[in-house]
Structure 1
Amino acid sequence: MNPVMVEYFRQKLLAWRDELLDEARATLTALQEGGNASEADIADRATSETNRSIELRTRDRARKLISKIDEALDRIEAGTYGLCEETHEPIGISRLEARPIATLSLEAQERHERMEKTHRDE
């Protein structure tokens, strides 16, 4: 992968990370402001709690995604970004475009998923 492409993915990862952090800040603000409101109706309260739980789960997934983005940025700095962790062959650009945090080539990922399915079914 040439330096221009590496920089393109670095910028893409940084923008994605910033977007997730902005959403997390907005969620935190909304939860702090909404935490003071108490609904009189039990159904409204249950709906609010369910929405809060869903939002917190979404933020937890985002937190894990931010960690994977940071790992991808570390691979860029180390010069290993875009290389499959199993085969050490280049990961296809189209795969990286679709999933910039990918660590396995498409073929390696498919093998990994087949192995998971095989062991899960046992």
Structure 2
Amino acid sequence: MAAIVCKNFDSADETRPFEDGKGRLDLLHTDRGPVGRAVFEPGWQWTQHLKPIAGTDSCQAAHTGYVVSGRMKIVMDDGDSVEAGPGDFITIAPGHDAWVLGDEACVFLDWVGFGDYAVPAGS
């Protein structure tokens, strides 16, 4: 393992686009696992723009991350919900929907759940 690693999301190791151009996931591959920066554009909703890619009824990824900008509503399958915004640290268990609030893109960094995120089912 390298003593120091410096990577930039603007030249990510991998970029995965969302349906209808409603955002993307920029992924950095590290010795300690993938780290992702998702840009969710205004109007993005998991059930509309990632459900067709994931092939599940709700998001089954666990997330541990930080909201850089924008706002997002997250609703668990059991109805529990939260609104997250700039500066918020958040953990989300599998089984949820989410959507962007307002007219600003929501930028979210995730250290746990983006390795298999937005990968077409069966890939």
TM-score range, shorter chain: under 0.3
Q: Which has the higher helix share?
A: 1
Structure having greater relative contact order (Cα 8 Å, sep ≥ 6): 2
TM-score relative to the length of structure 1: 0.21
Larger Rg: 1
Q: Which has the higher strand share?
A: 2
